[in-house]
Amino acid sequence: EVQLVESGGALVQPGGSLRLSCAASGFTFSNYEMNWVRQAPGKGLEWVSYINSGGNTKNYADSVKGRFTISRDNAKNSLYLHMNSLRVDDTAVYYCARADIVGATGPDFFDYWGQGTLVTVSS
């Protein structure tokens, strides 16, 4: 059974930093591209970041570019999101999401999602 379990969400002050983690199991993690998608309270879904299976290609939404860094450790079956210079409008539930196709080029659809971890940015 495919499982994605996020952790690391917390209450943080504006300008602060946080690292989110996503532990994957039930599939060969190193074969799949991965993404982070967020959802502000009561709002819709917003794609945040992408990383390819090898970890050497990354993409970011303009809203987080230069502040967030995606990474992965295939030996540990884990995905990460390092968030710096956090702003109030980064407040959201952050989901890790698996790409639906192995080896696809370009953006993904997302066939498995974690349960999400809440990041609250507030003073």
Partner 1 sequence: EIVLTQSPATLSLSPGERATLSCRASQSVSDYLAWYQQKPGQAPRLVIYDASYRGNDIPDRFSGSGSGTEFTLTISSLEPEDFATYYCQQRRSWPPTFGQGTRVEIK
Smallest distance, partner 1 to C-beta of residue 117, A = 11
Contact status: 95 vs partner 1 (CB under 8 A): yes
One of 26, 57, 109, 122 touching partner 1 (CB under 8 A): 109
Q: Which of 7, 12, 9, 16 is nearest to 78 (CA)?
A: 7
Cβ–Cβ contacts within 10 Å for residue 108, how many?
17
Contact status: 113 vs partner 1 (CB under 8 A): yes
Contact status: 118 vs partner 1 (CB under 8 A): no
Q: Bridge partners of 97?
A: 35, 113
Distance CA 10, CA 79 (A): 17
CB-based contact 96:114 (threshold 8 Å) = yes
Contact status: 108 vs partner 1 (CB under 8 A): yes
Binding site for partner 1 (CB under 8 A): 44-47, 59, 61-62, 95, 100, 106-111, 113-116
